Chain A
Amino acid sequence: MNNESLRDVYVGGVGMIKFGRYPEENVATLGAQAVQLALADGGMQLNDIEMMAAGCLYQTNMIGQKILKEMGMTGIPVYNVANACATGSTAFREAYFAVGSGAYDIALAVGVEQMGKRGLLGGITGDPAYSPEGVMGTGTMPGVFGMAGLEHSRQYGTTIEQFAQVSVKNHEHAMANPLSQYQVRVSLEDVLNARMVAYPNTLYMCCPTGDGAAAAVVMSKEKAKQFSRELIKVAASALTTDPYTDRVLTFPDVNTMTVNAAREAYEQAGVSPQDLNSVELHDCFATAEVLHYENLQLAPKGEAGRWVDEKLTDLAGPQGDPRWTPVNTSGGLLSKGHPIGATGVANICEITWQLRGQAGDRQVPDHKAGMAHTIGLGSACAVHILTK
């Protein structure tokens, strides 16, 4: 995609509720809370919003309108978006286009999900007696991402300990994020000895299910100057699906669409991987994060395992090393949580806070550029780059 014909778009306000479990709430009341946080953060009113894109995967039906019925029915156009785990990112991208096209000056993206203790995802619909799940392999997410990790082991010798270390790191990062669903410090032994879900992913290497909501307001430069304390630019917005690759119709390819989206995002932004100060990437499973170091060009092909060993993506890693790029400072999906529709927008919140220097004890010093990445199987991959 060529974004040169679009005008520049800026993040004007962000907000998210603490991810967790809210059985007494519903998707509209959760979403409305996040929207109010983003409006307050940007110093604006609901009346200032001209267009809204709402993402929710499991209760898609008119979710944006339901949110407005909770907080203010202003009559604006609303788009409802579902795009697997890239749902929130896709809503953000629609808001980006609404402003980038010049049609609107201020647009709102909100992502929300209420999953409760939903447990496993994927592999089955209905009665297992009629499903190939469990008798002809597996399509459950832990299984698919377990196999994707072993594919990397097969090619490059990546070890189970290296995958597990990602979980240790992201749980540690979350200790500094009060909005994280879990704030639990875990050791490598804890992760390796936890209950096996699907080899090599143990319980701590699988993201939790939960409830959550996040919102972001985007706007033109003029409006951003009017409302915002600091100009945070959406420098790139890329969205891809699977191209045909070997085995993809049988075994989801979690790599190629990420490679393609990242390449396009770097081109759009005119930014190189070395310029990124932090990355929020889609660590739905610990194995996935390792693969994406290479897919997003943070590490050379085959060296993701070494990146783990040298703590090059760890907030507590070697700051002076030019290869150091902290990944998932928020705690990532593994600890912060993954209420599906909210995830992509929550990533935008984290990068925005990092750019503004508002990330508290998890702040990356001198933060000038960050990336937010989500993928959903089936397939959709979104990559955004924010700069100041």
Chain B
Amino acid sequence: MTSDTATEAKPGLRPIVDYLIMPNENSVEGAYLRGLQCKSESCRTVFLYAPTRRFCAVCNGKDEDQFSTVRLSDEGEVWVYTVVHQSWPGIPTPFVGGIIDVGVEGDAEAKVAVRANIVGVEADPKNLRMGMKVRGKAAVAHKDKDGNDVVVWHFEPA
């Protein structure tokens, strides 16, 4: 959101959340969600990636090297959803907001919940089902006032 005025960064693609990682500067190709997994053997909790997380909110782990950086699966399952018809000025409605459980690459047991839109279906409860399988992908949602293309992660029925 804040650009360094000294270097005058050119507008480009800007992920809306820290845990949406974009390996390509000029394309959403290859984008994925990143997590932080607690290394404590009895914990292994996965958090959505935040560059500033130092401690584990579950086991209070506080080692210098408490977390592994993990890649989250593109595949997910809808835990719950809602169809939002009234939102803030400037936010188009209706849209389907969901809580999606996704897996963690390299750990078959681990899961983390992601808040995201469910797209590719008409925004009507009759098209949605809790437990439905979905697949996530990155997309440009809109432009911000700095001219950046804002990139989001959303899910479609698998």
Contacts and interface: CB of A to CB of B under 8 A. Distances in A.
A120 B89 CA distance: 10
Contact of A136 (B88, B113, B115): B115
Interface string A240-264: 0000101101110000000000000
A43 interface: no
A138 B84 contact: yes
Interface string B17-60: 10000000000000000000000000001011000000001100
A37 B128 CA distance: 51
B98 A137 contact: yes
Interface string A197-221: 1111000000000000000000000
B136 to A, nearest CB: 11
B84 A139 contact: no
Nearest to A201: B82
A127 interface: yes
B105 interface: no
A154 B130 contact: yes
A195 interface: yes
Q: Classify the secondary structure of B's interface with A.
A: strand
A244 B79 CA distance: 18
Nearest to B111: A246
B10 interface: no
Contacts of A142: 82, 84, 86
A147 B117 CA distance: 13
Contacts of B116: 136-137
B110 to A, nearest CB: 11
A196 B125 CA distance: 12
B95 A134 contact: yes
B80 A129 contact: no
A128 B90 CA distance: 6
B99 interface: yes
B113 A129 contact: no
B86 A198 contact: yes
Q: Classify the secondary structure of A's interface with B.
A: loop
A130 B83 CA distance: 21
A370 interface: no
A1 interface: no
Which of B17, B92, B115, B117 gathers most chain A CB within 10 Å?
Answer: B115
Contacts of A138: 82, 84, 87, 95, 97, 115
Nearest to B142: A129
Contacts of A197: 84-86
Contact of A133 (B85, B86, B91): B91
A195 B85 contact: yes
B60 to A, nearest CB: 10
Interface string A111-151: 00000000010011001111111111111101100111011
Which of B17, B84, B88 gathers most chain A CB within 10 Å?
Answer: B84
Contact of B86 (A120, A129, A130, A200): A120
Contact of B115 (A124, A244, A251): A251
Contact of A135 (B79, B83, B152): B152
B79 A120 contact: no
B83 A198 contact: yes
B13 interface: no
B3 to A, nearest CB: 12
B42 to A, nearest CB: 14
A15 to B, nearest CB: 34
Contact of B87 (A133, A150, A154): A133
A166 B100 CA distance: 28
A85 to B, nearest CB: 19
B82 A135 contact: no
Contacts of B92: 134
Nearest to A120: B88
B62 interface: no
A94 B7 CA distance: 51
Q: 10 tightest CB-CB pairs across the interface, nearest first?
A: A137-B115, A138-B97, A134-B91, A247-B113, A146-B82, A137-B97, A250-B113, A199-B83, A129-B144, A128-B90
20 contacts: A123-B88, A128-B91, A135-B142, A135-B154, A137-B98, A138-B115, A142-B82, A147-B82, A154-B80, A195-B86, A197-B84, A198-B85, A199-B83, A200-B125, A244-B57, A249-B113, A250-B99, A250-B112, A251-B79, A251-B115
Interface of A: 120, 123-124, 127-140, 142-143, 146-148, 150-151, 153-154, 195-200, 244, 246-247, 249-251
Given A134-B88, A150-B80, A197-B85, 18 more contacts: A120-B87, A128-B90, A129-B90, A132-B17, A132-B152, A134-B93, A135-B117, A136-B154, A137-B99, A137-B115, A138-B95, A138-B115, A142-B84, A147-B97, A148-B80, A197-B86, A199-B85, A247-B99
